[in-house]
A and B are shown apart, each in its own frame.
Chain A
Amino acid sequence: GENVEQHPSTLSVQEGDSAVIKCTYSDSASNYFPWYKQELGKRPQLIIDIRSNVGEKKDQRIAVTLNKTAKHFSLHITETQPEDSAVYFCAAREEKLTFGTGTRLTIIP
């Protein structure tokens, strides 16, 4: 089955700097890669997703890149703000959605 690895597990970034979270997947048939943000005590919320026929997607301060050959995808957050502090999960889907283990992002004011 699909295996998704996510790094780093924790990340501290100075406010205003950029944050990058990386994921690799094992199943080359996976064709959909969402990123979820989960704040403490809340449900995971989709923040951006990318499909396998696209290499990059951007939404304001958030961007995702996908390298199908290398089977990895990354989340980039620019100009970080305190409200970006949360746990971020990547996922890959072929038949079912398989999640990475999460990255706890802390923005230091």
Chain B
Amino acid sequence: KAGVTQTPRYLIKTRGQQVTLSCSPISGHRSVSWYQQTPGQGLQFLFEYFSETQRNKGNFPGRFSGRQFSNSRSEMNVSTLELGDSALYLCASSLPQLASDTQYFGPGTRLTVL
């Protein structure tokens, strides 16, 4: 099976702009989670989608939003970008039958905000 894919791989934006990132899960996986990875904070959970519904949400401001489509592909959007939003954004997919199902990560989108 093909792995988790993310597009674009790299993005450069300026403060105040908005950005949309895309994630295609492994075929058959219905859950997609998003994480922000920074050197200082590690991997921070953003949100999880299952069957087009947001199932869990992390402690990020409302500028961060997401959605999932009927084919399980997911997008996340960040509006009014700030310098601190520069990070690697990772998505991960899982089946899941149980909350303990393994998550498989995509390669990430490197966002730089100038």
Interface set of A (CB-CB < 8 Å, partner B): 1, 31-32, 34, 36, 42-46, 49, 51, 89, 91, 93-102
Extra pairs beyond A96-B33, A99-B43 (17, CB < 8 Å): A42-B107, A43-B105, A46-B102, A49-B100, A49-B102, A51-B100, A89-B42, A91-B43, A93-B99, A95-B55, A96-B45, A96-B48, A96-B56, A97-B33, A99-B44, A99-B45, A100-B42
Q: Which residues of B contact A100 (CB under 8 A)?
A: 42
Q: Give the CA-CA distance A27 to B90 in the complex, in Å.
A: 24
Q: Which residues of B contact A43 (CB under 8 A)?
A: 90, 105-108
Q: Which residues of A contact B107 (CB under 8 A)?
A: 42-43
Q: Which residues of B contact A36 (CB under 8 A)?
A: 105
Give the most central of B33, B41, B100, B106: most A CB within 10 Å. B100
- Quick one: which of A31, A45, A51, A96 contacts B105, CB cutoff 8 A? A45
Task: List 8 A-B pairs, minimum CB-CB distance, nearest first.
Answer: A32-B100, A99-B43, A101-B42, A43-B105, A96-B56, A44-B105, A43-B107, A96-B45
Within 8 A of A (CB), among B24-44: 33, 35, 41-44
Q: Give the CA-CA distance A15 to B64 in the complex, in Å.
A: 43
Q: Are B42 and A99 in contact (CB under 8 A)?
A: yes
Tally of contacts, chain A with chain B, CB under 8 A: 52
Q: Are A97 and B45 in contact (CB under 8 A)?
A: yes
Instruction: List 10 A-B residue pairs with CB atoms under 8 Å apart, sorted by A's residue number.
Output: A32-B100, A34-B103, A43-B107, A46-B103, A49-B102, A93-B100, A95-B99, A96-B58, A99-B35, A99-B45
Within 8 A of A (CB), among B76-107: 90, 99-100, 102-107
Q: Give the CA-CA distance A101 to B105 in the complex, in Å.
A: 17
